[in-house]
Amino acid sequence: MLKDNRFSFFNRAHAFGFAIAGLLYAFKIGHALWLQSLAAGLIVLAGFYFHITSSDWRWIVLCITLVWTAEIMNTAIELVCDALHPEHHPVIGHAKDAAAGAVLMAAIGAAIIGALVFWPYFF
């Protein structure tokens, strides 16, 4: 029998609950996510301290969101890989490395944008 795909606010709210549960779980097991949250908090404090513009705030929020999203996706990929193949497998290892590389790219991009945003306030 086919699943009922009709729209309902109850189903949307239920799905939203799953998303919140996933986010909380990612924070529970993701040590890197806590470090990234600490870094994000420091950047937000610096933004308030330097009174950055609303345009700069948009870039900062985008960067924080991008890095957190990449890290949560990395966590999801690692969980699926570990569930499918718990013992070491070279292809699984490459997949996990690639996911971690995506987080690194997001963090490098965020650092460059952060430097561009805060540079004028230091000189």
Handedness of CA 12, 18, 21, 66 (dihedral sign): negative
Give pLDDT, residue 12. 80
Q: Is residue 3 part of a domain?
A: no
Q: Is residue 13 part of a domain?
A: no
C-alpha Rg value of the chain to the nearest Å: 18
7-21, 28-42, 83-97: least confident range: 7-21
> How does pLDDT run across 28-53, given as a tens digit for each residue?
898 899 999 999 999 999 999 999 99
Q: Number of folded domains in the chain?
A: 1
Question: Which CATH number characterizes residue 117's domain?
Answer: 1.10.287.3610
Q: Is residue 5 part of a domain?
A: no
Give pLDDT, residue 68. 96
Segments forming the whole domain that contains residue 61:
31-122
Global pTM reads: 0.84
Taking all residues of the chain, what is their mean pLDDT, rounded to a whole number?
A: 92
> How does pLDDT run across 101-117, given as a tens digit for each residue?
999 999 999 999 999 99
| Length of the chain measured in residues | 123
Report how far residue 103's alpha carbon sits from residue 97's, in angstroms, rounded to the nearest whole number: 10
Q: Is residue 91 part of a domain?
A: yes
Q: Is residue 114 part of a domain?
A: yes
Q: Is residue 2 part of a domain?
A: no
